[in-house]
Amino acid sequence: MKNTFGNSVSVTLFGESHGVAIGAVIDGLPAGIEVNEDFIAHQLDLRRPVGKISTPRQEADKFTILSGVFNGRTTGTALCVVIPNENTKSKDYASSYGKARPGHADFTAFSKYNGCEDYRGGGHFSGRITAGLVAVGAVAIETLKNKNIHIGTHIKRCAGVEDIEFSDYNKDIDTLSNKVFAVLDGKKAEEMVSAIEKAAANGDSVGGILETVVTGLPVGIGEPWFDSVESMLSHILFSIPAIKGVEFGAGFECADMFGSEMNDNFTYENGVVKTLTNNNGGINGGITNGMPVLFKCAVKPTPSISKEQETVDFIKGENAVLSTKGRHDPCIVHRARVVVDSVTAIVLCDLLSQKFGTDWLGEK
């Protein structure tokens, strides 16, 4: 099982949903970066369950930094964050072991790991593991802010309800940074929450689309082929549970456009090269062009639902019917957005380090 991502700056995940603890290690950050534990706690709060639109499982997420920080700054060694699991109910899963939950990794994990996997709460496949990504991602986000690079994500669509478009990117990023339910239009947020609660009452779940913007990236980041900005971001974004689609700029809409519509014409603005449109999402040939990087992620409906579903019992080798027990989210879109911000920051720290060297991230 491979649990490490990245080259110059890398992240390693560890732990299981119902194990003693979960966490992450981020390696490759230079010495001297300020580590704000209040901001880490804030980011973890954005990922936590909220009322009727989330799982009843509540974890305090009281993290401990085991290494890599001294006197509030990085030391240059591996930074390890551990988060204990305190509110587990493993018995909820014991009685259904062997019955493949539709949309989950129960059957594939059993097949790949010969029945030795920790199946409780999804084990290492659980969205619970993303808490570690958020913790170390908070350090990466703050590192990029010091370079005037900012990341923000809003819920573009949820349960068929559409949010308004980004307008003033940096202002919108500031607004979203403190919103638990990251929607730009308050009325649309109310409609989304109502739709999620309705689905939950019916024993069902909903999905949505997250839209992310990155501002302040310099020109020339990324490589033309296998380490393009799109491929590196897509790699880590698709590692987030429930992400089933990623598109940049105009994305799939470009298939129905003419070249004259899709092309982003260049111009000089105050001596700086800009494009008049941004259909390519700030990336040409896999390399940043100085415009905001824009992408969307499709988040599938949470697979754990209380409605009866046809399945198989792969232990007994027979067909079965399953109604998922335990504590689950009727929607994870609102919780996933801070995970998207976090992994985006980790990838960008890696790509920037490859361009300018790791010490560049710590320079003022």
Written as one string, the DSSP assignment of 287-324 is EE-SSPEEEEEEEPPPS--SS-EEEEETTTTEEEEE--
pLDDT of residue 92: 62
Mean pLDDT by 10 residues, the chain (364 residues): 93 92 97 97 91 71 96 97 81 76 90 87 85 97 97 97 97 96 97 95 95 98 96 97 96 97 97 97 98 98 89 94 76 96 98 95 88
* Lookup: tokens for 184: 């730009």
User: Is 59 in contact with 151 (CB distance < 8 Å)?
Assistant: no
244: exposed, middle or buried (Cβ count in 10 Å: 0-12, 13-18, 19+): exposed
Say how far apart CA 67 and CA 43 lie, in whole Å. Answer: 20
Looking at domain 4-362, which CATH architecture does it have?
Answer: 4-Layer Sandwich (3.60)
* Lookup: tokens for 208: 């949505």
The b/e string for 177-195 (b: 16+ C-beta within 10 A; e otherwise) is: bebebbbbeeebbebbbeb
User: Is 237 in contact with 214 (CB distance < 8 Å)?
Assistant: no
User: Is 283 in contact with 228 (CB distance < 8 Å)?
Assistant: yes
pLDDT of residue 359: 94
Residues in the chain, overall count: 364
pLDDT of residue 301: 95
pLDDT of residue 57: 61
pLDDT of residue 2: 87
pLDDT of residue 91: 63
pLDDT of residue 152: 98
Say how far apart CA 27 and CA 22 lie, in whole Å. Answer: 17
